[in-house]
C-alpha cells in the first residue's frame, strides 16, 4: 500500500511537471517564434498605443462607427468574463432586449429587416466579427453620421469582407475593429 502511494505521488509530480509546466512553456515559446503576432493576441496599435485586438470584440456605440454584436460577457465585452447569457429563447428578458435593439436599429431609417447578429450575442460574448449583411445594414447610418457617400462606405465594407476560411469553413465575415479603423483612415 505504501509503495503504491509513493509511486502514485511520483507519477503525479512527474506529470504535473511535464504537462503542467514544461509542455505549456515549450508550446508558448514555439508559438512566439513561429507566429509572434498571433501568440500575443493579434493586438492592433496606433501611434505606439494598443487600441484593441483583432480577435476580441469591442463595444462601438457612436453613430460614426459600425456596431459589433451585443455582448453578454460580464458588463459587456469583458474578456475576463467570456460567456453567453444562457437565456432561453422563451426568456422575457432576452425577448425584451432584442425588441429594444431592433427598435433602435429601425430608428436609423433603414427599412430592411435587422440582421440577427446585430441583436443576438455570440456564445463567447466577444465575437469580433459581424456578417456582411450586418455591416451593409449599417452603411446608411455610418455614412450619414460621417457625411460620406453611401457608395464609398459600402465599398469599404465590401473590401473588408473576409471569405470562408479555406473556402469551406465558417461564413463570410467582417471584423468590426478593422473596418472602423479603415473608416477612420478613409475620412482623413
What is the pTM assigned to this prediction? Answer: 0.77
pLDDT bin (cut points 50, 70, 90) of residue 18 is very high
Q: C-alpha grid cell for residue 86?
A: 444562457
Q: C-alpha grid cell for residue 69?
A: 454584436
CA angle, 141 then 55 then 175, to 5°: 30
Q: What is the mean pLDDT of residues 132-155?
A: 92
- Predicted confidence at residue 97, as pLDDT, reads 84
Q: How would DSSP label each residue in 120-137? A: S--SSS---EE-HHHHHH
- Predicted confidence at residue 1, as pLDDT, reads 85
pLDDT in tens, 39-58: 777 777 788 888 777 878 88
Tell me the residue ranges of DSSP E strands in the chain: 43-46, 49-53, 129-130, 161-162, 173-175
Q: What is the mean pLDDT of residues 139-156?
A: 91
d(CA 40, CA 25): 14
pLDDT bin (cut points 50, 70, 90) of residue 172 is very high
Q: What is the mean pLDDT of residues 99-127?
A: 82
- Predicted confidence at residue 76, as pLDDT, reads 67
pLDDT above 80: residue 2: yes
Contact 140, 108 (CB under 8 A): yes
Share of the chain above pLDDT 90, in %: 38
Q: What is the mean pLDDT of residues 68-86?
A: 74
pLDDT in tens, 83-99: 777 778 888 888 888 88
pLDDT above 80: residue 70: yes
Amino acid at each position: 500500500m505504501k509503495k503504491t502511494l509513493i509511486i502514485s505521488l511520483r507519477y503525479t509530480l512527474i506529470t504535473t511537471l511535464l504537462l503542467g509546466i514544461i509542455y505549456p512553456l515549450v508550446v508558448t515559446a514555439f508559438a512566439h517564434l513561429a507566429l509572434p503576432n498571433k501568440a500575443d493576441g493579434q493586438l492592433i496599435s496606433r501611434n505606439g498605443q494598443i487600441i484593441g485586438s483583432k480577435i476580441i470584440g469591442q463595444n462601438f456605440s457612436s453613430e460614426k462607427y459600425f456596431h459589433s454584436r451585443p455582448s453578454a460577457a460580464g458588463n459587456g465585452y469583458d474578456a475576463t468574463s467570456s460567456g453567453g447569457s444562457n437565456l432561453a429563447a422563451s426568456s422575457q428578458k432576452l425577448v425584451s432586449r432584442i425588441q429594444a435593439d431592433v427598435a433602435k436599429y429601425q430608428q436609423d431609417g433603414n427599412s430592411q429587416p435587422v440582421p440577427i447578429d446585430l441583436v443576438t450575442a455570440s456564445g463567447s460574448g466577444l465575437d469580433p466579427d459581424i456578417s456582411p449583411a450586418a455591416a451593409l445594414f449599417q452603411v446608411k447610418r455610418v455614412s450619414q453620421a460621417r457625411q460620406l457617400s453611401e457608395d464609398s462606405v459600402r465599398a469599404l465594407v465590401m473590401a473588408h469582407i473576409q471569405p470562408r476560411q479555406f473556402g469551406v469553413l465558417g461564413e463570410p465575415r467582417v471584423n468590426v475593429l478593422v473596418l472602423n479603423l479603415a473608416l477612420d483612415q478613409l475620412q482623413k
